[in-house]
Structure 1
C-alpha cells in the first residue's frame, strides 16, 4: 500500500517536472487505479468510485473542445479584466526587438549548452587593423583635458581625422561607402576611444547608434539610402536625432511635438506633407549637425492620408538649412562638453518624401525607434562605460603599485585592496556583458531585454568603479589638470546614467516589464489572444502556463530540499565553476516561479509596483551578468590566471541576486504569495556568500603587476605613450617598477648589514640613493639609469597640476605644445 501511494506521489511529481500533456496524466491515473485493483490493494467498488471521480476531471482537461468551452472561455474574460492595459505605444515598446538567452533565464530551465555554443566575438583583420591604427591615432589626437578645457569639443584636427577615416560611418555597409563593421568592432572602437577621451567616443558613437543612419538602413527608401548614406559615411553630413521633449522625457511616447498633414507649395509644386512644430532638448551633435532626424506626433484632421486611424509618431529627416529649422545654443553636460543642444521649429513644412521610409512609414516611428534602440542600447553606452572603467582600473592599478606610503606601495593596504578588488571585479563582469551582448547582435539577435540589462548595469557599475578609483587616488583625483586621469570620467558618469532611458526607469520598467512579457513562454500569447478573443490559441497558452507554473514549483521544491545538489552543470563547463551554473539554474527557477505567482496575485497593479518589478529585474540581470562571466572564461580558453576575477564577479552577482530575492519576499504585497515562495523556494534560506578577503586580495594583486591577467582585463585600451601625452608617466613608471623592485630585493642583505639605507620614499631623493649604491658597487650604471628614469616618471605621476591665480588654463599648462594652445584657443573663439 505504501509503495502504491508513493507511486502516486512520485509519478505526479515526475509528470509535473516534465510538464506532461493531459492525455498522459489520464493514462497514468487509469494505470495507477488499475494497479491498485490488480494488486488487491483496493476493492473493485473503491476502484470504480475512484475512476468515476477522476474521469470527469480528466475528461474535461483532456478533451480540448470541452475544455475550451467550459474553462478557457470564462478564463479569457477574467484574464482580460486583470490584464494591465497597454497603449499602442507601450505595446510597440514591449514587442520591440527579440528574445535570446534572457528568455532561457526567465523560463527557469536555462540550456547552458546553448549559451556555451554561441560563437565568441572576433574581429576581422580589417577591423583589427582599424582598431590598432586609426582608432589609436584618433586617441592620440584627442584627450579629456584639451577637449574640456581648451576646445570644449574635439579639436578641428581630430574632427577632420574622424570624418576622413570613416569613424562616422562604421555601421554603414561598404556598398554605400561605409566601413561595414560588425557590432563587436563598433563596440571595440567606442571602448578604445573612451579609455582616452569621452568627447571623441560620444562624437563617434552617436552617428553609429540610434540616428538617421541606422533608421535609413532598416526603413529608408532606396532614394533616401542612396542620397544620405554615402554622404554620412564620408562625414560630409553630421547627423543628430531629436526625440526628447521637455514634457516627455522618459515617457517619450507622449511627445507633444506635432505635425499636421497638409498641402503646401514646395519647389513650385503643390505637395503633400506635414506642418510641424517642435521643441527638443538634450540632442547630441545638434549644434554641429547638418541633417536632423526628428520624431513627432502626426495628425491628419482632414483625412488627407485616406485612413481613419490617427497616424501616430512619425520620423522625418530634414536638412539643417531647411526653412524654419532652428538649432539652439549648446547644453553643457557635466564637463563632457560633447556637442549637445536644443532644436526648435514652428509650423515648418516638411514634404512627405522626407519621412524616413516614405509615406508607408507614417505612424510607424515609435516602432522604428524602439526596434533600433533595442539593439543600440547594447553597444554605445556599455562600450563607452567599459572603456572609462578600463582607464580607471589600468591607471589606478599602476598608480597604487608605484605610490608609496609607510615604506610600502599603497596597493598593499587591505583597505585599498577592497576597493581595487571591486574595481577589477566589476570591470571583468561588465566587459563580459558588453562582449556577450555584441556577440548576440552579430548572430542576428536583437534582444531588447539584454540591451536594457547591459545599459543599466554596465553604467551603474562604471559609477562604482570610478567612485572607488577616486577614493584610492585621493587628492590626485580631486585637483583638475592635464595630469589628472580620472576626474573627467568621474564628472561624466552621470551622463551615461541618464541617457537612452534613465537608469531608474530602465530598472523598474524596461528590464522586468519587457522581460515578464517577452521572455515568458506564454504571457505574450495570452495577452494577444485574450485581446483578440481567440479561444483556441488562448486555451493552449493558458494550460501551457499552468503546466509551466507547476513545473517550476516542483523544480523549486526539489532544489530547495536537496540544496541544489541534483542540478546538473553543463558537461563541457570548467569544473571549478560548476557550482555557479547550479546556483544560476536554481535562481532562474525561483525567478520564474516568483514572477508567475506575482502576476497571478498582484495582477495589473504589478505595472505600478516599480520597487517589486525592479527586484525581480535585478535577479534576471544578475543571472545574465553571471552567465556573461562564465561564458567569457570559456571563450578566452579558461586562463587559470583569471580565476580570481571570475570567482569575485560570479560570487558578487549571486550575492546581489540573493539580496534581491530576500528583499522581494520581505516586501511582497501579497504576504501569502511571499510565504509560499519562501516555503517552496528556500525554506532554509538562500545562501549566496559574497567574495571573501582572500579573493579580494588575489584580484587586487593581479591589477598591480604586469601579466596576462591584467593585460586581458585592460585589453583594447589606448596605448599610453609619454611622447604623446605626459599623462602616460604613471604607466611608464609602472613599466619600470619591476626592475626597480628587483634591484631593491637584491640589495636587502646590504640594507640589513647597514652598508646602505633603505630606498627613500621621497622620489626626489631616489637618485642620490642610486648614486650611493653605484659608488659602493651594489648596482651598475645601467641599473642606476633605470632607477633615475623611474624616479623621474613616478614623481611626475604623483604630482598635482597647478595654475595661475586667475586660472589661465593655457598659461598654466606645463606640457606638450603649451605655447601653441593659447593662439589655437583664440583662433577658435574668433572663428
Structure 2
C-alpha cells in the first residue's frame, strides 16, 4: 500500500510540474527533494531509493549540457536535418514575409488573453469619418448597380471622375505625396460600404489600394520613383494595375514564364543598361483603363553586364507606362462583375534599370515584396467584400423575411427558414469581428498568417451567407433586375474565392504550412540552428521545445479529463467558458502540431488534407478570438450574448470536426491513438450551434433593434424613395407598426368575418364591423401597398434583353 501511495504521489508531482511548465532544473530539484523526503521519512527503503534514484539520475544527467549535447542532442540534430523539408528560396521568403501576431499566441498553446483584450481597434480620424459619411455616401448615390452591371458594363464617367477628384484611389498613399493617408481600418470601412452598393464600384476602388504600384512604391520605391509616380496616382491622373497572374500562372506565381533579361538598349535617344521584358498577363484588374503597369518577371543577367552581380536574380517587379513601346493591353475579361479586367502583353519591351521598383538593389526581391503586399491586401480588401455581404444580407434578408408571407405567416418565422437566417446572422457577426480586428492589426504590423486566415474563411462565409440569402429570397433572388439585392454579389463570389491566392491553396498549404513554422515558438529557430550546425543553440531550443510539448500535452489532457476549470479566463460572465475552451484547444493544437511534424517530418507539407485540418483548427481559434475581442470591445452588451455564443459554439464545433478528421486520417495509428487520448480523453464535447440560439438570432433579424443597426452599420442606406432597397426598408419599418392590425385583419378575413372584392373593400368592411378602426385600416392599406411594391420582381421586353446582352 505504501508503494502504491509513493507511486501515485510521484505521478501527481510529475503531473503538476508538467502542467505548470517547470523547466528541467526544476524537475531535478523537485524530484531530488521528494527522494530525500521519502528516504528520510522511511516511506522508501534502500531498494526504493535505488529505483527512484535511476530516473532522478537520468534527469540530473540531462541537466548537464555538455553531456546531453554529446549523447542526445547531436544525434537529434542529425535526424532533424534529415527530416527537414526542402525549402526553395521563394518558400523561405513567403514564410519569412510579414510577422506573426495573435495567431502565434493561439498556436503556442497558452494564449496571453490580456494581450488580446488590451489591443484596441484603430480609431477613425475625423477626416476618415467625414469621408465615409460624405464622399462615400455621395458616390454610392451616383451608382445604379443594375445600370453598371447589365446595361453600361462599366461605371458611369461621372463616377470615374468623382473617384479621381476625391482621391479614392490613393487612400493608402501618404499625404506628403498627395494621398489621403488613411488607416487600414478606414480603407476597410470604405470598401465595405461601397460593396453594399456595388461590387464593381468596390473592386475598382480597392485594387489600387491593395496589391498595386501604389503600395509597392510606398514601401520599396526609390525617392525618384515616388516623386515621379505617387502624385499622379494620388490625383487619379494615373490609373495603376499590377500584372502578376498569366495563362500558366495562377496561385503558383513563382512558376511564371515571363522574363526580363539585362542588356543594353536605347532609351530616350541614348544607349543605357536596362531590361528587355517579354510577358503575357491576364485577369489583371484595371488593365483596360490603366496608365501605369506594375509587372512581375524573372530577371536574369546571362552576360554578366552588372559588375559583381548574379546571373539569375529571380522574381523582380518594375513599373512601366502603359503606352510604352511593346506594351499591348488586350480586350476586356468579364469576370462576373463589371469592374475593369483584362490581359496585358509585352513583347521586347526595353526599360532602364531604374524602372525596377526600388532600383537595382531590389532586383530579385519581387516575390518577398509581393507576398508582404498580398498579406496586407488579404487583411483589408477581400474581408471588406465579405463583410459587406454579411451586413447587407442581415439587413435585406431580415426585412424580406418579415414582410414576405406564406400560409399567412412571415417566412422568417418558419424553422426551416430560420436555419438559414440564423446562420446569416451568426456569420455577419463573425465577419464584422474579423474585419475590425484584422484590419486594425494591419495598422500595427504586417501580419501574414491571420490575413490568409481572414481571406480564406471570410470569403467562404461570404459564399455561405449569399447561398442562404438566395434560398430565403428565392424568386426575388433569382430574377435579375434593379429590385434584386443579391444577384451581383452572388454571381461575383467566385472572384473573391480565387483572387489573391485561391482558397484551396490558402487552406491546404498556406495557413498551417506557414503558421507551423512562422508561429511556432521554436521550429523556425531550430531550422536556422540546424542549417548553421549550431549545436549549443539547437540544444537549448530542443529541450525547451520538448518541455513545452510535454506541458501542452498535459494541459490539454487535464482540461479534457477534468474540464477547463483550471484554465484562466480573463473575465467573468458569459464569455468566460469560451476563453477557457479556446485555451484548451490551443494547447491541443500545439501538441498535435508537434506530433504531426515529428511523425511526418518533411512529408507533412505534401499531406495537404492533414495540413488543412490543422489549419482549420488554427483558423477557428483566431476567429473565436476575434469574436471574443469584438464582444468585449463593444462593452459585452446583453443583446450580443447570443451572437457571441453562436459564433463560439460554431468555432468549437468546427475545431472538433477538424481534429477528428486529422486524427482519423493520420497515417501513424499509435500517434493517432495518443492524440485522441490527449485531446479528447472523454470524447469530443463540442456540438453544433443549438436550435435555440440559432432561432434567437433568426428572430432578432426580423426586428428593428440596436443590434440590427450595429451589425449593419456600414450598409449604404439610399435616400431616394424610389430606390428598391429604400422601398424594402420602408416596407419593413411599416410592417413593424402595422403588423398587429394586419394580423387581426388577416385572421378576420380567413374566418370570413369581412367581405369585399378587393383590399380596400375588405378594409372598409372591417372598419364597419369594428374589426379595425379607421387609423388601423389606413395603416394596413399603406403597408400592404409598400409590401407589394417591395416584393415585386422585374420584367423586361424582348428588345431590352437583346440590347442589354449584345456584345459591346
Q: How does the TM-score come out when normalised to structure 2?
A: 0.95
SS in 2 for 1:208: coil
The 2-side partners of 1:539 and 1:602 are apart by 22
Q: Which residue does 1:820 correspond to in 2?
A: none
1:317 to 308, 319, 322: 319
Q: Which residue does 1:490 correspond to in 2?
A: 490
Q: Which residue does 1:362 correspond to in 2?
A: 363
Residue 405 to residue 722, structure 1, CA distance change in 2 (3 Å): farther
1:612 to 610, 615, 620: 610
SS in 2 for 1:81: helix
| Structure 1 runs not aligned, ≥5 long | 813-824
Higher mean C-alpha deviation, range 415-424 or range 26-35: 26-35
In the TM superposition, what whole-angstrom CA distance separates every residue of 1:423-470 from its partner, at most 9, and x where no partner exists?
Answer: 11111111111111012122x122211101100011001111101111
Q: Kindly indicate whether residue 541 of structure 2 is the aligned counterpart of residue 541 of structure 1.
A: yes
Residue 53 to residue 162, structure 1, CA distance change in 2 (3 Å): closer
The 1-side partners of 2:751 and 2:47 are apart by 102
Alpha-carbon shift at residue 133 of structure 1 (Å): 1.1
Q: Which residue does 2:22 correspond to in 1?
A: 20
Q: Kindly indicate whether residue 510 of structure 2 is the aligned counterpart of residue 510 of structure 1.
A: yes
SS in 1 for 2:797: coil
Alpha-carbon shift at residue 786 of structure 1 (Å): 4.0
SS in 1 for 2:614: helix
SS in 2 for 1:323: coil
Q: Say whether the 8 Å CA contact 1:286–1:343 is kept in structure 2.
A: yes
Q: Say whether the 8 Å CA contact 1:382–1:459 is kept in structure 2.
A: yes
Higher mean C-alpha deviation, range 310-319 or range 387-396: 387-396
The 1-side partners of 2:157 and 2:207 are apart by 18
Q: Kindly indicate whether residue 78 of structure 2 is the aligned counterpart of residue 77 of structure 1.
A: yes
Alpha-carbon shift at residue 254 of structure 1 (Å): 1.7
Q: Say whether the 8 Å CA contact 2:744–2:771 is kept in structure 1.
A: no
In the TM superposition, what whole-angstrom CA distance separates every residue of 1:731-770 from its partner, at most 9, and x where no partner exists?
Answer: 111121122114336779987998646xx9xxx9444444
Q: Kindly indicate whether residue 588 of structure 2 is the aligned counterpart of residue 586 of structure 1.
A: no
The 1-side partners of 2:750 and 2:146 are apart by 46
Alpha-carbon shift at residue 521 of structure 1 (Å): 0.3
Alpha-carbon shift at residue 774 of structure 1 (Å): 5.4
Q: Kindly indicate whether residue 790 of structure 2 is the aligned counterpart of residue 797 of structure 1.
A: yes
The 2-side partners of 1:24 and 1:579 are apart by 32
Q: Which residue does 2:126 correspond to in 1?
A: 125
SS in 2 for 1:311: strand
Q: How does the TM-score come out when normalised to structure 1?
A: 0.93
Q: Which residue does 1:821 correspond to in 2?
A: none
Q: Which residue does 1:557 correspond to in 2?
A: 557
- Aligned pairs for 1:212-231 within 5 A: 212-231=213-232
Alpha-carbon shift at residue 43 of structure 1 (Å): 4.0
The 2-side partners of 1:720 and 1:365 are apart by 43
The 1-side partners of 2:198 and 2:803 are apart by 19
The 1-side partners of 2:226 and 2:784 are apart by 57
The 1-side partners of 2:161 and 2:381 are apart by 22
SS in 2 for 1:379: helix
Q: Say whether the 8 Å CA contact 1:195–1:718 is kept in structure 2.
A: yes
Alpha-carbon shift at residue 372 of structure 1 (Å): 1.4
Q: Say whether the 8 Å CA contact 2:481–2:794 is kept in structure 1.
A: yes
The 2-side partners of 1:52 and 1:19 are apart by 22
Q: Which residue does 2:703 correspond to in 1?
A: 705
The 1-side partners of 2:624 and 2:26 are apart by 37
Q: Which residue does 2:715 correspond to in 1?
A: 717
Alpha-carbon shift at residue 783 of structure 1 (Å): 5.2
Q: Which residue does 1:250 correspond to in 2?
A: 251
Q: Which residue does 1:9 correspond to in 2?
A: 11
- Aligned pairs for 1:591-606 within 5 A: 591-606=589-604
RMSD over aligned Cα atoms: 2.3
Higher mean C-alpha deviation, range 394-403 or range 28-37: 28-37
Residue 724 to residue 224, structure 1, CA distance change in 2 (3 Å): farther
Q: Which residue does 1:689 correspond to in 2?
A: 687
The 2-side partners of 1:53 and 1:557 are apart by 23
- Aligned pairs for 1:144-159 within 5 A: 144-159=145-160
Q: Say whether the 8 Å CA contact 2:745–2:766 is kept in structure 1.
A: no
The 2-side partners of 1:424 and 1:670 are apart by 41
Residue 811 to residue 111, structure 1, CA distance change in 2 (3 Å): closer
Q: Say whether the 8 Å CA contact 1:107–1:520 is kept in structure 2.
A: yes
Q: Say whether the 8 Å CA contact 1:96–1:370 is kept in structure 2.
A: yes
- Aligned pairs for 1:443-482 within 5 A: 444-482=444-482
Alpha-carbon shift at residue 11 of structure 1 (Å): 2.3
The 1-side partners of 2:652 and 2:148 are apart by 40
Q: Which residue does 1:288 correspond to in 2?
A: 289
SS in 1 for 2:548: helix
Residue 691 to residue 45, structure 1, CA distance change in 2 (3 Å): closer
Q: Which residue does 1:439 correspond to in 2?
A: 440
Alpha-carbon shift at residue 791 of structure 1 (Å): 2.6
Q: Say whether the 8 Å CA contact 1:766–1:787 is kept in structure 2.
A: no
Q: Say whether the 8 Å CA contact 1:196–1:391 is kept in structure 2.
A: no
Alpha-carbon shift at residue 484 of structure 1 (Å): 1.1
2:625 to 599, 624, 627: 627
| Structure 2 runs not aligned, ≥5 long | none
In the TM superposition, what whole-angstrom CA distance separates every residue of 1:189-210 from its partner, at most 9, and x where no partner exists?
Answer: 1000111100000000000001
Q: Say whether the 8 Å CA contact 2:151–2:804 is kept in structure 1.
A: no
Residue 219 to residue 753, structure 1, CA distance change in 2 (3 Å): closer
Q: Say whether the 8 Å CA contact 1:264–1:270 is kept in structure 2.
A: yes
